Structure 1
Amino acid sequence: MFSPDKTKHVVVGLENDSIYYSFFNNKIPVIQKSLMGIELNEMAWKGLSVTEVKKDASRTQWEPLWGTQQSYPDYYNALTVKLKDKNSNTYTLLLRMYNEGLAFKYEFEIAEKSSLTLKNELTEFNMANHSKSWVLAHPWGKKYKKNMQVSQIKKVSLPLLSKSEKGHYIFITEAGLYNYGSLHLSANPNGSLSAEIVGDVKLKPEFKSPWRVVMVADAPAYFVEHSYLIQNLNPPSKIKNTSWIKPGISTWDWRARGAKEDGFEYQLNTESMLRFIDKTSELGLPYFMIDAGWYGAEHEKASNPLTTIPEIDLPRISKRAKEKNVGLWLYVNRVAFEAFDTDTLLAKYKAWGVVGIKLGFLREQNQTGVALLQHVLEKCADYELMLDCHEAVIPSGIERTWPHFLTREYNHSFMDGGYVASPVDHTITPFLNNVAGPIDVTPGFFDIDKMKARTYVKSELKSTIIAQAAMCVTYFSPLLCLPDIPEAYQRKPDVFEFIKGLPLSYDASKVLIGDIEKTYVVARRKDTTWWIGGVTNEKGGEIEFPLEFLGEGNYEATIFLDGKHTTWDKNREEFTKENSIVHANETLKLNIAPGGGVCIKLELK
C-alpha cells in the first residue's frame, strides 16, 4: 500500500505462521522485515490464515480548537487485513499510510472469553542501517540519552528519534493510548527493536490497541512541523460545548515560594495567593495556579483535598480571583483521586470557581496509570475543568478527543532537584518529547540571579533571560505556566510584553533552523503577526535565516538578544532590544549568546 503522494509504501505478508511488515521511503527500506501481532495468555497467535484484505482511502482536514496551525490535513490510504486462527478467533490489522509516515494497530474479537490477559506484543521495528538514536531514559520522559547504538537500547520510553547511516531520520511513537500500558522498546540480538508493554494488561474480548507510528524524513524539523499526524490517529472531540476551554498564560506559586520582595516573602499562605492574584490581574494574564501543599502533604492519604491547611483560606482566594477576573488552577495529587470520590472533589472545586486541575505524580506508565488519567480526564470534562498532568504518560494525541487536556509534563522541566537542563537539552527536546504533543516545560524565569534562594529551587539555572522567553515559543503548549514572581515580570516589561502577546494557538508554524544539538529556531503566526523564538547550545554563534515566509508587505521587527557579555552562566539577565522594518526578501543574520536565545516579533504594518 502506497502513501497518497506515492513516496512511501508498506508491504504486509503472512509467512511461516507469522505476520511481517516492511516500510519503504522512495523505495529505500526504512523498517526492514519486522514482526507484527499480539499474543494472549488465553490463546497463541498461531494457525493464522488471511480471510479478507480491504483497501480504503480518506482525504479530509480538520480544525483543532487550539494547535500549531489552523487546520490539519488528514490524508491517508488504509489497508485492513483480517485473520483467523485455528480456533476461528478473528484478528484485524489496521494500517494507514500517510504522506508523513506509517501507522498500524490491532483489533480482535474473542467471543467465548469474558476477559483476556496480554502475554506479549510482538511488534518489532527493524530499522535499516541506523547509527545513532536519541531515546528517553526515564518513564516520565524526563531524561534523554543521545548517540545511542540500536544494540544498546533497553526499555526506553517513546518517542524515539534515530538517524540512519544514509542520513534520513526515523521517529517512532504511539497514538491513541487508551486501556493499555505504555509502549517501551528494547533491542533484540538480531538488531531490531521489540515492543515491551509496561505492566500487566487486562483486555476485554473486543479490543483495539493503540496505534504504532513510524515517521521518516530527511531532517528532524519535518517531525515538528507534521506532528499533527499523532492527533489525526485519534477520534474527533467528544466535547460539544468548548467555550470554557481557553489557552492562556498562568502565573504559578511553586517556584515563587521563599522569594522576598520589598519586605514581603512569598509563602504557602492566603496573603501570598491574594498578592499573586492581584499582580496577575495587573499583568493582564488570565490564570493563576496554586501548587502542592494547600490541603496538606500531597503524597499522604490522610491529607483531605476537600479541606485546606489553616494557612490557606481558599474561599477567600477564589472570591478575589473572581473579582479580578483571574481563572484559578489547583494542584491535586493522584493520591487524592485514588482515596476520594472524583465527583465529590471536582464538584467542590467547581463550586470554588476553579477553572483547571493540575494532576500531580500520575507516575505509573502501566494500564492502571493510563486508566486513572482517562478517568480524571473524562470527569473534568463533565465539570468543565481544564487539565494539566505532571509525571504523565506519553502524549499520544488524545487531546484531539479531549481538547481540555491542555498540556502535560512529559519532559525534564525546570526541576526542584539537583539536575537542571543544559542549553543543549533545549535543542533536542523539541525534536523528541514535544513532537508527541504539548509539554509543560515551565520556562520564563526572569530573576535568574536570585532564584536559588527560593524554597523549591536547588540549582542554578543554566540559561539566560532571552533564552527563557524564547522557550515560550520554541516549546509548544497551549497552557504556559510562568515560574517567576509577578514583580520580576514588571521589572522587565519589554521582554514580558513579548511573552504576554503569545496567543499559544497558531495559524501556522515553521522551523527556520532545526540543527539538533546545536540550534533550534521556530516561527509561529497568528493572523498577520509572527513570533520567532530561538535557542542554542553552550557554544552559541551566528545564525541566519531568510524571511521569505512573511509574504508581501512591510513588517516591524522587534528583536531581543542577550547582552554582549552574556552566557548561560554569566550576566544572564542582560539583554538588548532593537526595532527595524523588514521584508520577505531579506535574510536575518544574528549572533546568539552561548546558551542564550533570540525573540522576534514581526507585525505587518
Structure 2
Amino acid sequence: MENKIRYYSLLIGFLGFLGLHPLYGNDTLGKYKITSPDKSITMELSQDVNGQFIYSFKGKNRQLIDPSPLGFKLENGNVIPYAGWRVETASRREVRDVWKPIWGKRAKVDDHFNELVLRIRNQASNLLQNIQIVARVYNDGIAFRYEVPSTEIKTVGVISELTAYHFTDNFTAWYYNGENHNIGPELLSESDGRRLPPMTVKADGQNYLAIHEAYLIEGEPLVLNAEKGERVFTLSSKPAKLYPGYKSAWRVILYGTTPGALTDSHTIELLNPTPLPEYDFSWVKPGLALWDWRMNGAKVEGFSYEMSYPSWVRAVDFAAAQGLRYLVLDANWYGPEFHSDSDPVSGDKVNDVRKLIQYGKEKGVGIWLYLNDIGGKKFPIEKTLKQYGEWGAAGVKYGFMRGNHEEKNRWTQTVTRLCAENHLLVDYHDDPVHPYGQMRTWPNAVTRELCHAQLDGHHVFVPKTFVTAVFVNMVAGPLDMNNGMFDLRQGHTTRTDCNLPVPSTLTAEAARTLITFSGATILPDIPEFYRKYPPLFRFISEQKMPWVESKTLAGEIGEYIVMMRQTKDAFLVGAATNESGRKLSIPLTFLGSGKYEVEIIQDGVDAHYLTNRETYSLNKKTVSMKETLHVSLAPGGGVCMTFKPIKK
C-alpha cells in the first residue's frame, strides 16, 4: 500500500515580497496554483485588484471556470476575506494514500490529491480576524472549503456565501429535480432561478463537470441560483453563522473527459472522514433485497400476496433459494403509517415481524423494517432503533422525513448514527437530503431515493429518465430507484399500489439493477415473475456485492449507458437506452487474460418498451479481451452480459 504524505510550508513575508517561492516556482505574489497529481487539471487562487479572493479552474488545458468569487457577506455588510485581508501563510500537502471501502464501486480507491491551505488575516477587523481556504485537487476534480480557526473568539452572522461558478462558455447542463424528471438539457444562459445539485455540465465532447458538495456537517444543503441570460451560478444556501472552529462543506467540482467518469468518481466520499475508531462496520453487507410493497395485491397460482406473514415467508424462502440477502418490509407493519398512535415497537403485526426475523435468520435472509417521522419522532428514536437491533433486524427504511433540508440533514445524521450503534443498515426515501459522501464515515448508510422510484413515478418516468439520472443524481452517491420489475404486462395489474407497468423491456429492467449503484438493490416484483424468466433473473442474482471494480464503459447523458461491474467470480455488463433503439460496439478490454464464456441477453428483434416488453434472445459464445461485442437495444431496452473465465 502506498501511504505517503508530504508537507510544505511557505511564509508569505520577505520571500513573498520578492516573489520568490523556493518550492513552487509558479506561485507569484497573491497568486497560487495547485495542480492534480497527474498534472491534468489546475486550480488557481488569487486576490483581484479590488481585494476579492477568487478561484478559477482548468481541465486538460481548457479553461472551464473563469475567476469566481470566494467568501461570505456578513450581517454587518462586510465581506470576508476582501480588501484589507492578506495571505499570512500558505502550506501545501501531497497525499498518496489508498482507501479500501467496506463496500463501494470498487475494492480499492486511490486517495491522491494535492492540497493548499491559505491562512488569510485582517488584524484590523473588529470581528473575525482569521479565515482559512483549504483547496484540494484530485485527478478527477477540485474541492475547497472555508475554515475559521478555533483560536478566534467571536461569532458572526452571515447574509450569504459568495461562492460562485463563472463558466467560460454557454455550456449545457442537467440538474437533480426532486421527484420529477431532471431539468435539462439546458444551456447555462437559459437556466433561471433555483437549481438543485448535482448539476452535470457538458462543455464539449471531451470535457464534463459536476457541481456538488461533500461532508455537510451543518447548515443548509447546497442550492444553486441562476440568472437567465448569464452563465454564472451563485449559492442561495448559506450557513447561519461563522464561529470558532467552523468548517463549511466542501464545494466540489468533479471533472472528466466522459460523463461516465463523473458517475464512477469516489472523490465526494474521499472528502469525508473515515469512521470513528469506536465503530466497527464489519457487519455491513451490501446486497439484493426483495420488497413487500410492490408484491401487495399480486395474484398468482391461487395465492394472493399481502403485506402479511404468509407472503413474507414465501418471499424469504425465495430469497434464500436464490441467494438474495434481504427482505424489506414497508409501511403499515406496526399500524397505519400516518396515524400518530401507531407504535413502532408494539403496534399491529409486531409479533409476526419478530417471528419473521427469526425465520429469516434460519434461512440466511435479513429483514428490514420501515419507519417514518411520525413513529420516529413521537416515540423515542433511541429506544425504537435499539429495539430493532435487539430483535435482530437487518436495516431500516426511513420515509417521509419532515422539516426543511437543514433540519432533515441533522435528523438524518442522528438516525444514521443510531442505526450504526444498533447494527442496522439504513435507506432514506421520500425527498431525502442529497448524499454528500456519508458512506465513507457511515458505511451502514447504503442508499437513498434521490429520485422518484420508477414504479411511483409514472407521471415522469420514461426511458430517458433513467439514462439521465445515472449521470446526474447518481453522481451524488448510491441511488435507490427500485429497478427490476418483471411484470410488464399491458394495462393495469392487480397490485394494490401503482399498478401500471414500467415503460421498459425485461432486459432493460434487469440491466438497470446492475447499472444503478446502490448498497441495497431493492427488487420490486414477486418471486413467480422472477422464476418466469430464468436467464434474466440469473443475471440479477449474479450481482454479488461488494464490487471488485466498476467502470462506465460508454454513454451519453439522456441517451444511453453501458456499465461494467466485477464480482469475485464474474464480469457483469448492463446497457440501457432511451426511447431510441441503438446498436453498440463494446470493446472487452476490461476482461483479464485468457478466455471467457459470455451469456448475452438482448431485446427481441421486435421488442419495444411500450408494446412488446417481454421478448428477448439469449446467446453464448467464447471471447477474449481483444474482441469487441456488437449488441442491439430496442427502444427503451437494454442488454445484459455475464462473463465467466474458462478454466484450463
Q: Is the 8 A contact 1:464 1:597 kept in 2?
A: yes
| One-letter amino acid of the structure 1 residue matched with residue 640 of structure 2 | C
Partner of 1:23: 57
The equivalent residue for 1:419 is 459
Q: Does 2:484 align with 1:444?
A: yes
Q: 1:406 aligns to what SS in structure 2? A: strand
Distance (Å, rounded) in 2 between the aligned partners of 1:307 and 1:298: 14
The 1:458/1:312 distance shift into structure 2, 3 A limit, reads farther
Q: Distance in 2 between matches of 1:10 and 1:80?
A: 13
Q: Contact 2:395–2:426 (CA<8 Å) still a contact in 1?
A: yes
Give the corresponding residue for 2:96. 59
Cα gap change, 1:111/1:340 in structure 2, threshold over 3 Å: closer, same or farther? farther
Cα contact 1:466–1:599 (8 A) shared by 2 = yes
Is the CA contact (8 Å cut-off) linking 1:557 and 1:579 kept in structure 2?
yes
Kept in 2, the 8 Å contact 1:507–1:524? The answer is yes
Cα distance in 2, alignment partners of residues 336 and 116 from structure 1: 37
Distance in 2 of aligned mates of 1:99 and 1:541: 32
Displacement of 1:420 in angstroms is 4.7
Aligned to 1:455, what secondary structure does the other structure show? coil
Q: Which residue, 563, 583, 594 being the options, matches 1:542?
A: 583
Q: Which residue of 2 aligns with 1:234?
A: 272
Structure-2 separation of matches of 1:290 and 1:177:
30
1:108 aligns with 2:148: yes
1:447 match: secondary structure: coil
Q: Does the 8 Å CA contact 2:181/2:461 hold for their aligned counterparts? A: no
What letter corresponds to residue 632 of structure 2 in structure 1?
N
Aligned to 1:600: 641
1:443-522 aligned within 5 A: 443-449=483-489, 452-522=493-563
Instruction: Give the Cα–Cα distance (whole angstroms) in 1 for the partners of residues 155 and 351 of structure 2.
Output: 47
Q: Percent identity?
A: 33
Structure 1 counterpart of 2:133: 93
Q: Which residue of 2 aligns with 1:282?
A: 321
Superimposed CA distance per residue, residues 14-68 of structure 1 (whole angstroms, 9 cap, x where no aligned partner): 2323211111124421110111113343773344332222222111111111111
8 Å Cα contact 1:133-1:149 kept in structure 2: yes
**Mean Cα deviation higher: 155-164 or 335-344:** 335-344
Range that drifts further, 172-181 or 506-515: 506-515
Higher Cα Rg, which structure: 2
2:183 aligns with 145
Matches within 5 A, 1:128-167: 128-138=168-178, 142-151=180-189, 152-164=191-203
Deviations 1:151-198 (A, max 9, x none): 324211111111226862221111112212110111147531001217
**Partner residue in 1 for 2:470:** 430
Bigger shift: 158-167 or 333-342?
158-167
Matches within 5 A, 1:151-550: 151=189, 152-164=191-203, 168-188=207-227, 191-197=231-237, 201=240, 205-225=244-264, 227-238=265-276, 240-309=279-348, 313-362=352-401, 364=403, 366-390=405-429, 391-416=431-456, 418-449=458-489, 452-527=493-568, 529-550=570-591
> SS in structure 2 opposite 1:313?
helix
Q: Deviations over 1:534-580 (max 9, x none)?
A: 00111112111111221321100111112222110122122221111
Contact 1:238 1:402 in 2 (8 A): no
Unaligned runs of 5+ in 2: 1-33
Which of 60, 69, 74 lines up with 1:35 in the alignment?
69
**Which one-letter code corresponds to 1:413 in the other structure?**
A
CA contact (8 A) 2:148 2:243 kept: no
Aligned-residue CA RMSD in angstroms? 2.2
Distance 1:310 1:137, change over 3 A: closer
Q: Distance in 2 between matches of 1:14 and 1:596?
A: 52
Q: Once structures 1 and 2 are overlaid, which stretch shifts more, 419-428 or 227-236?
A: 419-428
Counterparts in 2 of 1:89 and 1:300: CA distance versus 1, 3 Å? farther
1:4 paired with 2:41, answer no
Are the structure 2 counterparts of residues 166 and 399 from structure 1 closer, same or farther at C-alpha, using a change threshold of 3 Å?
closer
Q: Distance in 2 between matches of 1:364 and 1:575?
A: 46
Cα distance 1:268–1:117, how it changes in 2: closer, same or farther (>3 A)? farther
- For residue 236 of structure 1, what is the amino acid of its counterpart? T
8 A contact 1:135–1:148 mirrored in 2? no
In the alignment, the residues of structure 2 paired with residue 404 and residue 261 of structure 1 have an alpha-carbon distance, to the nearest angstrom, of: 35
2:604 pairs with 1:586: no
Q: CA deviation at 1:282?
A: 2.9
> CA separation in 1, counterparts of 2:580 and 2:88?
59
1:247 positional shift:
0.8
Residue in 2 that maps onto 1:577: 618
Asked if structure 2 preserves the Cα contact closer than 8 Å seen for 1:256 and 1:454, the reply is yes
- Summarize deviations over 1:269-304 as a string: whole Å, max 9, x none: 232223322332233322111001112232343322
Q: Indicate conservation of the 8 Å contact 2:170/2:231, yes or no.
A: no
Inter-partner Cα distance in structure 1 for 2:453 and 2:209? 25
Q: Report the CA distance between 1:426 and its aligned residue.
A: 1.8
Note the C-alpha offset of 1:452.
3.4
Secondary structure of 2:35 counterpart: coil
In structure 2, what is the equivalent of residue 124 of structure 1?
A: 164
Q: How many residues align?
A: 601
Q: Is the 8 A contact 2:333 2:349 kept in 1?
A: no
What is the rounded CA distance, in whole Å, between the counterparts of 1:275 and 1:310 in structure 2? Answer: 17
Query: C-alpha separation between the residues in 2 aligned to 1:310 and 1:362?
Result: 23
Q: How far does the alpha carbon of each residue in 1:333-370 deviate from its partner, in whole angstroms, 9 at most, with x for none?
A: 12322222121001211222201011112365522111
Partner amino acid, structure 1, of 2:182:
Y
Moved more, 488-497 or 232-241: 232-241
Q: CA deviation at 1:110?
A: 7.2
Task: Return the letter of the residue paired with 1:196.
Answer: S
Q: Distance in 2 between matches of 1:281 and 1:511?
A: 31
Matched AA of 1:244 = W
* Residues in 1 aligned to 2:570 and 2:318: alpha-carbon distance in whole angstroms: 27
Q: CA deviation at 1:414?
A: 1.4
TM-score (norm 1): 0.94
